[in-house]
């Protein structure tokens, strides 16, 4: 089943499909994510503030923050009372362990 985690209609359709197969879930794992988005202006991840652009920031925030929140929204009705919800990220997104710097949008 193909779904777009940033599209609410797509997630609602996916949740309906899952509900038909498994009306209660014990675990929901979201592993969407993007380090950077290639734009017409930038091919590489931004390493300086001067490299930031709205298109790259929007794509990063959508994949890394908005999409997991929308998955939670649409799958919450299917989640059992003591279920687990996990949104997996990467070490590069760590605030406490970002020795290399850069990747501001991430």
* pLDDT tens, residue by residue, 20-77: 999 999 999 998 877 776 666 666 677 778 878 888 888 888 888 899 999 999 999 9
Residue corresponding to tokens 């949104």: 87
What torsion do the CA atoms of 53, 56, 58, 60 make, to the nearest 10 degrees? -140
3-state SS of 40-102? CCCCCCCCCHHHCCHHHHHHHHHHHHHHHHHHHHHHHHHEEEEEEEEECCCHHHCCCCCCCCC
pLDDT digits (tens, 9 = 90+) for 64-99: 889 999 999 999 999 988 899 998 876 665 666 666
């Amino acid at each position: 089943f193909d779904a777009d985690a940033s599209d609410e209609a797509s997630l609602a359709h996916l949740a309906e499909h899952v509900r038909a197969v498994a009306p209660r879930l014990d675990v929901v794992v979201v592993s969407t994510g993007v380090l950077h988005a290639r734009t017409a202006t930038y091919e590489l991840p931004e390493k300086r503030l001067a490299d930031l652009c709205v298109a790259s920031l929007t794509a990063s925030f959508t994949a890394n923050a908005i999409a997991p929140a929308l998955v939670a929204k649409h799958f919450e009705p299917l989640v059992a009372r003591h279920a687990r919800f996990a949104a997996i990220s990467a070490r590069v997104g760590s605030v406490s362990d970002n020795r290399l710097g850069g990747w501001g949008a991430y």
